[in-house]
Structure 1
């Protein structure tokens, strides 16, 4: 938890710095900004690492809360199972979104594509 917390601080503040302070700031964030960012494998892995660490860190914290405030038994197992299911589902879905994101899908009408896509 301590190591993931420190790494998350670096990842989150780096994310905020690039998205909010560099260039035009928050006004530049749109579909094209995200598409351009995720075209670079460095930013894909940055966001994946941030996603995985945040979900694992948060899920482990929630597991600790469940351990602290419930008695061992069926309720505790159900709550821990629900946390595990949510964390795994969000990790899988988030990873799929980052690695399968295509801002320029083949066969789309040119007027619907972002300006950086080749027509």
Structure 2
């Protein structure tokens, strides 16, 4: 099941939620040159997932849901342009566990 919020796609598979930027957000920010992921292990709703610098903007990407971070796309830290990729295997930001099902279900369907 895929939801959308804050120009992010949230894909739920089993008990894990993968967060990635929408194609629209990728276009809006331009080529990403630098990212800095949060060092936190848990995200509350509206917590910063990462800071990014791109050709068109500098911004924070915030989480639309709360959860425990179980995986971060560290390859994107070394090669930030991976977040501009169309490939889902490259452009993901993080994976969350312990996401409240009601909170997830309340998000807009993609």
Greater fraction of residues in helix? 1
Q: TM class by shorter-chain length?
A: under 0.3
Q: TM-score, normalised by structure 2?
A: 0.23
Greater share of strand: 2
